[in-house]
Amino acid sequence: MLEKVPGRKVTGPASTDWEIPGMTTVAAYAAPAAKAPLERTTIERRAVGPHDVLIDIKYAGICHSDIHQVNEGWGESIFPMVPGHEIAGVVSEVGAEVTKFKVGDRVGVGCMVDSCRECEYCLRGEEQYCVKGNIPTYNGIGKDGQPTYGGYSEKVVVDEAFVVRIPDSLPLDVAAPLLCAGITTYSPLKHWNAGPGKKVAIVGLGGLGHMAVKLAHAMGAEVTVLSQSLRKKDDGLKLGADHYHATSDPKTFEELAGTFDLIVSTVSAPMDFGALLSLLRVDGALVNVGAPEEPVSLNLFSVIGGRKTLAGSAIGGIAETQEMLDFCAEHNIGAEIELIRADQINEAYDRVLASDVRYRFVIDTSTI
């Protein structure tokens, strides 16, 4: 085993001298333990390998799942944790064999940084469903055996195969949330054929939901928002919704029974899935992209009558993520964001939990 010491020179087996360039120390915000507030620290980024790019991170979005993982809501996490899987930045160094990118390119990194690359799903570009499990951008173990650290930091080193290009017309700050919230909603909308002539409902108008509304509208679907209250109705209509209903009003479920071809639920709190399923047409699908921490119970007659599908969907593959970014550039779609300094991260977490964000916090990483 070679020790990773900066600039250390070692002698190879065929008496070839080579340089181990060493790791880079970068500033980051990390949670030192479960449920602990995030604080400024430093982390080591691996040396830039032949297929790697070094990215100067400019912006990092705050996703609700960052908070779930800091709080161990989805099971045990690795600490210290540097969250962040909505990364937008600029390439500042490329490995010798990198072909997709050059220094100065505007790029993004989403929820995963590697996968087995050999299984059926990896080979067809659905790395998110890799049978060996994809390697998450943070709170995972990389192929080098080291924990992965996410985007709340100054720089990151990522294999070029897991880096996407951010089109020039998309500002980097509003593009950052597309890397998780954008692709997480784009992928099921595409898979279940949202488009002209289709009635699509989006449940919840938060970080994911507001992207789903913009994307479904741009795809040509008739879009309805189902939100707890009518508090954000004006916003929803501005974002592209045709209709807006409150789920707290029982009349909503009477009026809209049997209406939708597709419902995408973006809510990570427990929901009445039976009531939502009653709003589908025959052969309609209810797709869940939010992940409640607790199991849900459901009377299966709600899917049997009407041959309905209750489904889930996780992010999207790398090729599809690129397709989504190109679609967003073509339709001039970015996230609605509130830009914050790094020292506001903990306050932002509290506000996300209180649903007090319109619609995504994005960290200006120059303030780390």
Contacts with Zn ion by CB under 5 A lie at: 63, 65, 115-116, 119, 122, 130, 180
Of 193 and 355, CB closest to Zn ion: 355
Of 109 and 368, CB closest to Zn ion: 109
Of 149 and 260, CB closest to Zn ion: 149
To Zn ion, the closest distance from the beta carbon of 111 in angstroms equals 6
To Zn ion, the closest distance from the beta carbon of 287 in angstroms equals 16
To Zn ion, the closest distance from the beta carbon of 90 in angstroms equals 22
Q: List Cα–Cα distances, 262 to 27, 48, 201, 247, 249, in angstroms.
A: 43, 44, 6, 17, 21
To Zn ion, the closest distance from the beta carbon of 21 in angstroms equals 29
The C-alpha angle 331, 336, 340, rounded to 5 degrees, equals 140
Of 68, 111, 128, the residue nearest 269 (C-alpha): 68
Name the E strands within 204-333: 222-227, 243-246, 260-265, 280-288, 309-312
Beta pairing class for 337-340 and 360-364: parallel
Write the DSSP string, 11-54: E-TTS-EEE----EEEEEEEBSSTTPPPEEEEEEEPP--TTEEE
Report the alpha-carbon distance of residue 358 to residue 356 in Å, rounded. Answer: 7
To Zn ion, the closest distance from the beta carbon of 343 in angstroms equals 22
To Zn ion, the closest distance from the beta carbon of 85 in angstroms equals 5
Of 109 and 216, CB closest to Zn ion: 109
Of 21 and 125, CB closest to Zn ion: 125
To Zn ion, the closest distance from the beta carbon of 115 in angstroms equals 5
Of 72 and 242, CB closest to Zn ion: 72
Four-residue CA torsion sign, 356, 358, 359, 364: negative
Q: For residues 316 and 243, is the Cβ–Cβ distance under 8 A? A: no
Report the alpha-carbon distance of residue 112 to residue 314 in Å, rounded. Answer: 11
Of 116 and 291, CB closest to Zn ion: 116
